Amino acid sequence: MASKRQIFVGGVPIGGGAPVAVQTMTKTETANLGATMEQIRTVADAGADLVRVAVPREKDADALRTIVSESPIPVIADIHFNHTLALKAIDAGAHCIRLNPGNIGGRDKVAEVAVKATEAGVPMRIGVNSGSLPKHLHELERRAPVEALVAAAVEFVDLMEGLDFTDFKVSIKSTNVPNTIAANRLLAEKIPYPIHLGITEAGTKWSGALKSSVGLGTLLADGVGDTIRISLSTFHAEEEVKVAWEILKALQLRERGPVLIACPTCGRLQFDMDTVVAEIEQRLEAYTEPIEVAVLGCAVNGIGEASHADFGITGAKDEGLIFAHGKPLRKIPQAELVDTLFEEIDKSLGRGGRIQVDDSKAAEGAAWLQRIEEENAGDLTPEKLAAMEKAAAESGEDITAPGSAESGDGEPYLKPVKGRKVELGEEASPTAGRRFTRA
Ligand code: SF4
């Protein structure tokens, strides 16, 4: 349910089925040209399609002219309370004006901005936050906050249409995730304009990313939302952009750079996977190709569920395996795994994505993998349990507790029984009492 209408912010289409645009906001003093331009370049490199800058003072509006001319991506001027700053921002060449029609000083001032924006061909983002609803909606807000947010947004839409200005997108934001979801769903049913999504004051990199992923991810999965901004309490605006991209990539709405998949680890882990995954993730940031890279904590399951990955490693105590497209490439000493993985990735990308296989090394890797799989054939790993569940579901059976399948030490562990779900008691778990090892 993408918005029916489309607007353009600079050359970036928003809504009407265009790819969901990623935006962020600079955290610098806008008039500090050096710092602001450095942050804009950083967020553009990280993948921001649009950048917003705060314009609370005359000198910020003055700085806009240079910012707009030097910015590699379109610039949105964020204006509150002072409509003359909006007029100046349009004169300075801002590609979009963000304002709250409710706090700009009345209908006439909104009209003045709308006339100038129309002349300049500049779109606007209009909207409300849960903390700044018009007074007449406060009573409704107490009883029904979602309806109050939507009512405010619809009133602003009516106001702009009454001024013959329809070149806008709309946002309603709240710190409350369920309210944000409900309000935007409702708004999308009521208006044809593009919708900007965000969770206000979401929090730190950790909690803010999660809240935004839940709120925005739910809406985007429904098809609601045409541009997103992740609000994080960090000076590093590029972190907001990275989170936005992870959400869009997870929903397969857009593609950008590599996708890393990694097992959650368990008691079979035999190397320091935390560090290895972190290093791989960091090194992958230098790549723009949409390759999928898998990291498995052990070779007990073979390549298994990572067989669709373009590249991967599976580690063990002293050695590990590099694989590509489900096939072993070579066995490597543990300490060289990451460097060799990236050598293989670089070589393949240099050949246009083709993999070159050294048959003897591949055979040696395959034999190593087979030996480990055979040695651990009785282990009920998370992957094997998932495969058993899948097989049982496909055959119409459910697997359940104690009875038939045997664990490695010959104890009865799982028995397929129709009509019962899997319930793994902690005591019956093959990992019960074992500690994670990183030796
Ligand atoms: S059994 Fe699975 S989850 Fe555990 S370390 Fe091996 S690959 Fe990772």
Q: Does pLDDT of 438 surpass 50?
A: no
Mean pLDDT of 213-219: 97
What value does the mean pLDDT of the chain take?
Answer: 87
The predicted pLDDT at position 400 comes to 53
Confidence of residue 307 (pLDDT cuts 50, 70, 90): confident
Q: Does pLDDT of 419 surpass 50?
A: no
Based on C-alpha coordinates, what's the Rg of the chain? 27
Class of the CATH-defined domain 259-375: alpha beta
Phi then psi for residue 21, to 5 deg, are: -85, 140
Is 381 touching ligand 1 by the criterion CB < 6 Å?
yes
Asked if 415 and 402 touch (Cβ cutoff 8 Å), the reply is yes
386 token code pair: 């998932």
DSSP-derived secondary structure letter, 426? G
List helix spans (H) across 285-395.
Answer: 337-350, 359-375, 382-394
Residues near 354 by beta carbon (within 8 Å), at least 6 away in sequence: 348
**Rounded Cα distance, 309 and 258, in Å:** 11
* Mutational pocket test of ligand 1: of 261, 265, 373, the residue with most ligand atoms within 8 Å of the beta carbon: 265
Task: Point out the ligand 1 atom lying closest to the alpha carbon of residue 298.
Answer: 6
Cut 0.75: pTM above it: yes
Lowest-pLDDT range, 204-208, 232-236, 316-320, 407-411? 407-411
In the chain, where the domains are located: 6-250, 259-375, 382-428
The total of other beta-carbon atoms located within 10 Å of residue 11's CB is 9
> Is the CATH number 3.20.20.20 carried by domain 6-250?
yes
**Rounded Cα distance, 41 and 48, in Å:** 9
Is 299 touching ligand 1 by the criterion CB < 6 Å?
no
**Rounded Cα distance, 163 and 126, in Å:** 14
- Looking at the chain, the whole-number percentage of residues with pLDDT higher than 70 is 89
* Mutational pocket test of ligand 1: of 261, 268, 384, the residue with most ligand atoms within 8 Å of the beta carbon: 268
Confidence of residue 270 (pLDDT cuts 50, 70, 90): confident
The residue among 296, 213, 309, 330 whose CA lies nearest residue 258 is 309
Query: If you take atom 1 of ligand 1, which residue's CA is the nearest one?
Result: 381
Is 160 touching ligand 1 by the criterion CB < 6 Å?
no
